[in-house]
Amino acid sequence: MQTPYGHLSYCSNIHPGEEWVAHFSVLQSSIPEIKAAVCPNEKMGIGLRLANQASIDLSEKSNFDEFKNWLEANDCYVFTMNGFPYGGFHNVVVKDQVHAPDWTTPERTNYTIRSFELLAKLLPNNLTEGGISTSPLSYRFWWKTPEALEEAKKIATKNIISVVEALIDLHTSTGKILHLDIEPEPDGILENSDEYIAWYKNYLLPMGIEQLSRKGFTSEKAVEGIKTHIQLCYDVCHFAVGFEAPQVVIDKLEIEGLKVGKIQISSALKVDFSSDTEEKLKVIAQYNEPTYLHQVVAQRKDGSCVKFQDLTEAIASFEENISSWRVHFHVPLFLENYGVLSSTQSDIVDTINVHKKVPFTNHLEIETYTWGVLPTEFQAPLNESIIREINWVKRLL
C-alpha cells in the first residue's frame, strides 16, 4: 500500500509453493483476508517471492495473464520481489543452501533476469520503479582459500554486470527503472555496509565501466547505469546482528553516492547475558531448529565481537566473558520480548525514524518467514500474524 514514506508490503516468501500454481493458490486464499484488514479501501502492494520454477511457470502467457487479472480484480499490485531464495524454502533443510546457486553461476543470473522481465510487466502503469533483492554474491565459507574467494567475487561481479546490461535494455524498452538490491547477510561474501561499499568501489564500478565500455558507454554513463540499477537491500535484522546503526550506514552510503532500493523490515533475537545466563542458554536452545541458518554475533565484555556460523556452534562455545548475542532469527516484529530473551525491535524503530526524517527508499517490505519454526507459544494463525505485523509498521509510519 502507498504510505507517506513509500510503498509497504510483506514478502510472500512466508508462503510455500516452489511451483507457481501452488504459490498462487496460497496468495489467492491469503491476500484478500489480509487486505480487508489492513487496507480495505486502497490498493495493496505485494512483495512477491518467486522460486526459480515459479518464475518459469509465470512466464507462460496463460499463467501471467491470469495473475495480472487477479491483481486488478483484487485491487493489488506488485512493486518489489525477493529473488534471494532460488529453490526450496519451506519444509526442507535450507541452511547455507539459501545462497545456491550463487552469483558465480549462470543459473542465478538467468533466474534474476527472468524475474526482472516479469516485474517490468507486473508494475502498474503509474509506477516506474521496481526492485528485486538478492544474495550477497555467495556464502563465504564455500570458498576455502583467499584466492578462491577472490575469484568468486570477480565471477559473481561479472554476472551481476550482465544483469545491469539487461536492466538498461529493459529501461530503454519499457521506461521502467529496475534495480537489483544486494542484501548483505552474516557469512555472505558481503556481510556488512563496509564490505558492500568496498565491493562496489573496488569490483563493481571498475569491472562495470570496462564491461559497459564495450557497448559504447562512457565511464560517466556506465557509473550512472550501475548506480541506478545496483542498490542496497537494507535488511534491518541483518544490520542489527552486525551491530550496525542505521544512521551510520545511510551516511556512509550517501558519501559514496550509493542508493538503497528497499528496506526489509525484520527483527533479530537478542540475548543479554548480564544475568540468568544458564536459563537464557536453555531458552535460546529452543530456537536452534534445523531449517534455517541462525548466525550469531557475540559481543564480549571488552566490546570485541566473535562470530558463529549457527546457533549450535555458539551454544557449544559459550564463554563467561560474553555479554550479549545477536542471533539471525527473523522473529515477529511486534514483540520486543520473548520471555527472558529480547529482540532488535528498537533497530526497526530507529531505521524507520531515520527514513522518516530523510526518506532514502520508496520500498518497504516486511520479512518474517520463521512462523512455522518458532516455539509454539509464539505461533498464531498465519494471516492473523501478518495482519498484526503490517498494522504495527503502519503505526510506526
Q: List the CATH number of the domain containing 392.
A: 3.20.20.150
Residue 65 lies in a domain: yes
Neighbours of 369 (CB within 10 A): 22
Residue 292 lies in a domain: no
For residues 230 and 233, give the distance between their C-alpha atoms in angstroms, rounded to a whole number.
10
222 has a pLDDT exceeding 70: yes
Computed over every residue of the chain, the mean pLDDT equals: 95
For residue 367, what is its C-alpha cell?
A: 520479512
pLDDT category at 377 given cuts 50, 70, 90 is confident
What 8-state DSSP symbol labels residue 369? Answer: -
Mean pLDDT of 330-337: 90
Residue 240 lies in a domain: yes
pLDDT category at 144 given cuts 50, 70, 90 is very high
Mean pLDDT of 5-32: 94
pLDDT attached to residue 367: 93
Range of the domain at 249: 2-267+344-396
- Whole-number percent of the chain with pLDDT over 70: 99
Q: Which helix (H) or strand (E) holds 366?
A: strand 363-366
Would you say 213 and 165 are in contact if contact means Cβ atoms under 8 Å apart?
Answer: no
pLDDT category at 372 given cuts 50, 70, 90 is confident
374 has a pLDDT exceeding 80: no
pLDDT attached to residue 335: 86
pLDDT attached to residue 90: 59
pLDDT category at 203 given cuts 50, 70, 90 is very high
Q: Where are the beta strands (DSSP E) in 209-362?
A: 230-235, 260-265, 267-272, 296-300, 305-308, 322-331, 337-338, 341-343
Indicate the number of domains in the chain.
1
Residue 335 lies in a domain: no
pLDDT attached to residue 141: 97
Which stretch, 291-295, 335-339, 354-358, has highest mean pLDDT? 354-358
Residue 336 lies in a domain: no
Mean pLDDT of 8-31: 94
For the four alpha carbons of 36, 38, 41 and 44, in that order, the dihedral sign comes to negative
Could you report the per-residue pLDDT of 113-137, keeping only the tens digit for each? 999 999 999 999 999 999 999 999 9
User: Dihedral, CA atoms, 144, 147, 151, 157, nearest 10 degrees?
Assistant: 90
Residue 126 lies in a domain: yes
Q: Which helix (H) or strand (E) holds 161?
A: helix 146-174
Residue 151 lies in a domain: yes
Mean pLDDT of 186-214: 98
pLDDT attached to residue 380: 78
| Candidate from 68-77, 270-279, 365-374 with smallest mean pLDDT | 365-374
pLDDT attached to residue 156: 98
Mean pLDDT of 171-189: 97
Residue 135 vs residue 377, higher pLDDT: 135
pLDDT attached to residue 91: 59
Residue 290 lies in a domain: no
